[in-house]
């Protein structure tokens, strides 16, 4: 259930102020602010490509909730990474499933909806489950970065997610892939083995292909469809949540 309007306005103002003040802060300081500000009403979402944000947050405050969208279409390596994360880090991993099994979805919409209408499939298997799983929280964090795609270049380190009436925290927004690689090596962070097998960006198996050297890391996602985002980070107008929203 969405917060009352006056609380939403207060949260939006809080996000705008923090987004400006923390723009140059280290990811750990951004996470510390979020954990201190929102307490039990803060969670992390994870695709299980790597556990950088989880590693950072769990060092600051053990027991942070981590939401993993179990679409039913993940690579086995991704599910094993999820299980390794749950064993290694002092976090609480919630695997959230869609309302329909793949068989039920096939019966209603026909098989391989991901090939015919990936937006509809993502809505059913990612966007709705995320919306449902975020309801108990006032703020959520993701590991998206500005250097991943042109459309992500304007994301804030803290911003107002008007679509969900929540504060969105992107502690790695300013980081590059080299920053992530350095942190992974220094802290022995759990990573998905597919990252080193030609999959620099990992989503559901039917919608993720290997990327050739020199190709954009995200080019293996929904290749050839024109789709670049699953919808998790989009506002109601179909645009990415941005600084100043
Ligand atoms: Fe469906 Fe592909 Fe989206 Fe996964 S990434 S939910 S399989 S369209």
Q: Is the CB of 221 under 6 A from ligand 1?
A: no
The CA 73 to ligand 1 mean position distance, Å, reads: 7
Confidence class of residue 165 from pLDDT cuts 50, 70 and 90?
A: very high
Q: Could you tell me the pTM of the whole model? A: 0.92
Domain membership flag for residue 191: yes
Domain membership flag for residue 196: yes
Pairwise CA distance, residues 165 & 245, whole Å: 11
Pairwise CA distance, residues 240 & 222, whole Å: 18
Q: What is the mean pLDDT of residues 100-104?
A: 98
Provide the domain limits for residue 161: 5-207
Domain membership flag for residue 229: no
Q: Is the pLDDT of residue 42 over 80?
A: yes
Helices (H) and strands (E) in the chain, counts: 9, 6
Q: What is the mean pLDDT of residues 164-190?
A: 97
Closest residue by CA, ligand 1 atom 5: 204
Domain membership flag for residue 220: no
Choose the weakest-confidence range: 66-80, 131-145, 216-230: 216-230
Q: Give the pLDDT score at 231.
A: 67
Pairwise CA distance, residues 220 & 224, whole Å: 9
Closest residue by CA, ligand 1 atom 4: 204
**End-to-end CA distance of the chain, in Å?**
21
Instruction: Give CA separation, 199 vs 209, 219, 230, in Å.
Output: 7, 10, 17
Pairwise CA distance, residues 82 & 131, whole Å: 20
Domain membership flag for residue 153: yes
Q: Is the CB of 122 under 6 A from ligand 1?
A: yes
Query: 98 and 128 in contact (C-beta within 8 Å)?
Result: yes
Domain membership flag for residue 45: yes
Q: Give the pLDDT score at 245.
A: 41
- Classify burial at 67, counting beta carbons within 10 Å of its beta carbon; exposed 0-12, middle 13-18, buried 19 or more: buried
pLDDT, averaged across the chain: 92
∠ CA 62-165-60, nearest 5°, is: 15
Q: Is the pLDDT of residue 17 over 90?
A: yes
Q: Is the CB of 91 under 6 A from ligand 1?
A: no
Q: Give the pLDDT score at 138.
A: 97
Name 23's Cβ contacts closer than 8 Å, sequence gap at least 6.
156, 157, 174
Q: Is the CB of 126 under 6 A from ligand 1?
A: yes
Q: Give the pLDDT score at 151.
A: 87
Domain membership flag for residue 128: yes
The CA 193 to ligand 1 mean position distance, Å, reads: 20
Q: Is the pLDDT of residue 45 over 70?
A: yes
Task: Pick the more confident residue, 6 or 183.
Answer: 183
Domain membership flag for residue 16: yes
The CA 168 to ligand 1 mean position distance, Å, reads: 23
Q: Percentage of the chain with pLDDT > 70?
A: 90
How many domains in the chain?
A: 1
The domain spanning residue 17 has which CATH number? 3.40.50.620
Known catalytic residue at 121: no
204, 205, 232: residue to mutate for ligand 1 pocket, most atoms within 8 A of CB: 204
Number of residues that this document lists for the chain = 245
């Amino acid at each position: 259930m969405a917060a009352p309007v006056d609380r939403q306005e207060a949260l939006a103002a809080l996000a705008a102020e923090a987004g400006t003040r923390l723009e140059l802060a280290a990811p750990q300081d951004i996470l510390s602010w979020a954990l201190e500000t929102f307490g039990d009403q803060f969670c992390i979402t994870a695709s299980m490509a790597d556990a950088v944000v989880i590693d950072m947050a769990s060092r600051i405050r053990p027991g942070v909730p981590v939401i993993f969208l179990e679409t039913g279409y993940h690579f086995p390596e991704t599910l094993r990474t999820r299980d390794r994360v749950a064993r290694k880090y002092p976090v609480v991993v919630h695997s959230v499933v869609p309302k329909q099994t793949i068989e039920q979805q096939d019966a209603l919409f026909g098989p391989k909806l991901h090939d015919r209408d990936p937006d509809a499939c993502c809505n059913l298997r990612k966007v709705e489950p995320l919306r449902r799983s975020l309801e108990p929280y006032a703020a959520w964090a993701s590991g998206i970065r500005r250097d991943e795609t042109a459309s992500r270049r304007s994301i804030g380190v803290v911003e107002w997610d008007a679509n969900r009436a929540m504060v969105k925290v992107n502690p790695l927004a300013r980081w590059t892939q080299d920053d992530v690689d350095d942190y992974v090596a220094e802290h022995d962070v759990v990573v998905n083995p597919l990252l080193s097998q030609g999959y620099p960006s990992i989503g559901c198996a039917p919608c993720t292909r290997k990327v050739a050297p020199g190709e954009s890391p995200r080019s293996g996602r929904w290749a050839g469809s024109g789709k670049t985002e699953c919808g998790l980070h989009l506002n109601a107008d179909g645009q990415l949540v941005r600084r100043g929203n």
